[in-house]
Amino acid sequence: MSRAQLRFQVDSRLATLLSQEYPSSERALKELVDNAWDADAEHVSVTLPKPLSGGSIDIEDDGSGMTEEELRRHYLAIASDRRSRRGERTAGKSRPVKGRKGIGKFSGLMAAATMMLETRARGRLCRISLRLDDLARVEDIEQLDISLHSEPCAPELHGTTITLNDLHQGLAYPEANRLRQILLQDYGRQDDFAITVDDKRLDVDDVSGRYAEQDQSLPNVGKVKLRFSISDGKSGLRQPGITLRVDGKAVGRPGFFGLDQRDDFPRKLLRKLYGEVEADGLRDHITAGWDAAVENSELLKEVEAYVQPILREAYEQQYRQEIQLAQARLQKAILTRLSALPEHKRVFADRAIKKILDKYYGEPESKVEPVVNVLLEAMERSDYRILLEHIAEATSSDVAGVAERLDEFGLAEMAFLVQQAAARQVFLDQLELLVRDATTTEAVLHKALERNLWVFGPEYSLFSSNSTLRRQVEDVLGKVYTGDKADKRPDLLLNENLSGKYLLIEFKRPSHALNHGDYVQAIGYRHELTKYVGSAVQVLLVGGGRSADFPTGNREPDVEERIFGQIISTARRQIEWLLRTESS
């Protein structure tokens, strides 16, 4: 019986295969920029050659650079995870580390046959070269001899330069505009990481689409400059919104200056907006941590009132034709049913369908059509006969007034607006008493709100619960909570709307502040329930407050939290506004 030692062999083709992992030359170059980010660079310059010029691609950064020892132990270690060696964040600027797989060093070989790296750190300059031809001559990549040139340099010098020569002729040359758009997704909003491509710094106008720039002096704020682009790409941007800048510094996260609060604005279009607004006059209305503007600032409202109509007009010009075409396709699909309506009903249906298409822009027609059908069913029901007869008999001016209200509130709400609003006010009074009672349990609130999801907002009013969904929730809880934990089950409500979308509501008692554990628990239930329902599940967490550790960013999609007091206050304002509008 014989024994032998075996070992893995790393084929020299590995480097070529790894370089081919990237779908385009621009994506491969982005990987080299990521390395500069991980090196705590403040500036990266990318220079591209003109097509067929025979020139090189140069990527130069002012990061920490590498010593000879770091080159040997870290850079030349294939598939070594930097995070496991040095942590999740960079040493100097505490940036989240981009490099994960330890293969980014080969990305340059996708675009070129030769890659030279020159790096400076702590008084030493080191230079190495990698060539695809050399890799092809050895069977094992560990047998490849890499020449290292090392010499002294000024101690204050630091950074890395990568030069790519002998560009592959079978591939299209990297395009500067395309590279800028890719880099903009990750780095366009970084104040401490400037990127130039062919001597042009990454900026708002690099978004492919409609670019606009306006400035004006506002009465109380002073000079305000707005620069933005609306993308014409099929997918949304990774970091959409308008960044507020004060004294050259970004304030908080990008926002939408009220567009995201409007029911008549297609939410999917928000993901196509990218820009910034400079308003130095707000410097005294910024929080101490520089993470937001003061919400109730009158100056901020003045800026919002200036910015929002400009954005709306730009969207109108760019996307109105698309929305009209979608409207025509949908109206063609339901033309027979629409034409069967009396003329006076058809006018309102046309207006309401347009409003629905505006709101649900970008959604598949299979999801929008059921919403339109609900509207048509409401128009056809005899419950509204008296109201419609009244509209038909009204004068032209009266019809215009009623039509405007129908457009805002929806036909079904309008029919019994006064009676319904009064009843809902009584309901909110009782609900507020429950919420203020410290002994109120989750189950009690579940029972009170199960059939009254309008309290959470109009977008939730079409969700409903049924016995099948209730049993599915019980099955999940039965798996998770057993034995002596059974009495600690959370109170969950699973609902479904007409489009087959599911809503999971987790109620917490009014005396409980939502925390990180509640968030983790809720998304855990979603993952488990998805196995049963076979579809995406939206999560709504409801409690008495928010703890400091409740996540505000980097959350899973379709997870929202609501506070009982805010829910009731918002619902009251909506009812009071409706009644005030109706009586005016």
List domains and CATH numbers for the chain.
13-197 (3.30.565.10), 203-319 (3.30.230.10), 334-415 (no CATH), 421-572 (3.40.91)
User: What are the phi and psi torsion angles at 46 (to 5°)?
Assistant: -115, 125
Q: How far apart are CA 105 and CA 112, in angstroms?
A: 13
Helix and strand element counts for the chain (H, E): 20, 19
pLDDT in tens, the chain (584 residues): 445 443 334 444 444 544 455 667 888 899 899 999 999 999 999 999 987 777 899 999 999 999 988 888 888 777 555 555 667 888 889 998 887 655 667 788 888 889 999 999 999 999 999 888 887 777 767 777 888 899 999 999 999 999 999 887 666 678 899 999 889 988 988 889 999 999 999 999 899 888 999 999 999 999 999 999 999 887 788 889 999 999 988 898 899 988 888 766 777 788 899 999 999 999 999 988 888 888 889 999 999 999 999 998 888 887 776 666 666 666 666 777 777 777 666 776 777 777 777 667 667 777 777 777 777 776 665 344 444 444 445 444 444 554 544 444 444 444 445 556 767 888 888 888 888 888 888 888 888 887 788 888 877 776 666 556 666 666 666 666 555 554 555 567 777 776 677 888 888 888 899 999 999 888 888 888 787 777 788 888 999 999 999 988 788 888 889 899 998 998 888 888 766 665 55
> Chain-centre distance of CA 477, in angstroms?
31
pLDDT of residue 8: 38
163-177 pLDDT, tens digit each: 999 887 666 678 899
pLDDT of residue 394: 47
181-217 pLDDT, tens digit each: 889 988 988 889 999 999 999 999 899 888 999 999 9
Q: How far apart are CA 271 and CA 266, in angstroms?
A: 10
> Chain-centre distance of CA 373, in angstroms?
30
Phi-psi region of 166 (alpha: psi -120 to 50; beta: other; left: phi over 0): left
Q: How far apart are CA 181 and CA 583, in angstroms?
A: 51
pLDDT of residue 4: 45
pTM of the model: 0.54
Going from the C-alpha of 213 to that of each of 64, 123, 204, 225, 559, the distances in angstroms are 37, 46, 10, 8, 35
Q: How far apart are CA 205 and CA 209, in angstroms?
A: 9
Tokens of 325: 């075409």
CB-CB contact of 127 with 148 (8 Å): yes
Q: How far apart are CA 542 and CA 513, in angstroms?
A: 9
Tokens of 71: 């080159």
Please report the DSSP string for 320-334 in residue order.
HHHHHHHHHHHHHHT
pLDDT of residue 389: 46
User: What are the phi and psi torsion angles at 224 (to 5°)?
Assistant: -130, 130
* Sheet strand arrangement including 112-121: 149-152, 124-131, 112-121, 159-167, 57-61, 43-47, 194-197, 200-201
Who contacts 326 (Cβ-Cβ below 8 Å, separation ≥6)? 357, 361, 365
Identify the CA nearest to 224 among candidates 270, 282, 275: 282
> Chain-centre distance of CA 303, in angstroms?
24
Q: How far apart are CA 507 and CA 445, in angstroms?
A: 7
